[in-house]
Amino acid sequence: MADDTSRAGARYTTPQILEYVSRVHAPHDAALVRAFAVPEGVPAIQVGPSEGRLLHLLLRLVDAKKVVEVGTLVGYSAIHMARALAPGGRLWSIEYEPRHAEIARANVAAAGLADRVTILVGAGRDVLPTLDGEGPFDAVFIDADKQNYDHYGRWAVQHLRRGGLVIGDNSYLFGELLDDSERGRAMRAFHELVAGACDSVCIPTPDGLVVGIKR
Ligand code: SAH
Ligand code: DHB
Ligand code: MG
């Protein structure tokens, strides 16, 4: 069947195929193994290995030096992105939960990236304005509270350079993108504002990954 679903390849993935392609293209070294694990009480909600690898490759493609992440968790996506930074580059990653941030700092240090990564504790809406003066940025990765994606997306397009990337995880909103809910409306506003300010796509990862290049 040549509908959009089969063209996306969704019919052909199996756990075994996903394990194989992750192993071949996106193997974990010790630092990524550590940050892909979570201690008791911390949710295991990192991006997948292939999405982490994609973040890394996308940042290399735009020669990223200044990157912002909203939603650090324990630093898995941050390590992928920090490793992609051009010399002298910097990643600011914002995390609301102090315990997550503390574990992330230890994981980033164990990866040898403490000099390039600054983890800021607080709500994205409060912390982003403190970064206004560091821009313009080469990329902004949004992966935190879903009801604020439109706010984060607006901040991103305002503070990205032309050609910079806005990237948003969970862009299908766990299957609830079209719901008449606060976060459904916020996520749709995010899609539409990115499409309006960028050349963009929503990559059909398991939960959708928006990528936009700012015009
Ligand atoms: N990007 C990470 C996963 C992030 S999970 C990775 O792929 O490795 C989402 C994180 O966003 C959680 O740690 C959660 O505590 C954090 N979060 C929730 N609300 C937030 C807010 N308002 N501001 C910043 N971070 C928030
Ligand atoms: C959740 C958050 C995420 O960013 C994700 O990728 C998966 C799940 C969550 O809040 O449950
Ligand atoms: Mg996510």
List pLDDT tens digits, range 127-170. Answer: 999 999 999 999 999 999 999 999 999 999 999 999 999 999 99
Q: Is the pLDDT of residue 84 over 80?
A: yes
Q: Which of 97, 102, 108, 170 to mutate to test the pocket of ligand 1 (most atoms within 8 A of CB)?
A: 97
Q: Which two three-digit tokens encode residue 92?
A: 């600011």
Helix or strand or coil: residue 214?
Answer: strand
Q: Is the pLDDT of residue 9 over 60?
A: no
Beta-carbon contacts of 13 under 8 Å, excluding residues fewer than 6 positions away, are none
Which of ligand 2's atoms lies nearest the C-alpha of 73? 4
95 CB under 6 A from ligand 2? Answer: no
CA-closest residue to ligand 2 atom 1:
45
Per-residue confidence (pLDDT) for residue 11, from 0 to 100: 78
143 CB under 6 A from ligand 2? Answer: yes
207 CB under 6 A from ligand 1? Answer: no
Q: Is the pLDDT of residue 8 over 60?
A: no
Please check whether residue 46 is in contact with residue 34, taking contact to mean a CB–CB distance below 8 angstroms: no
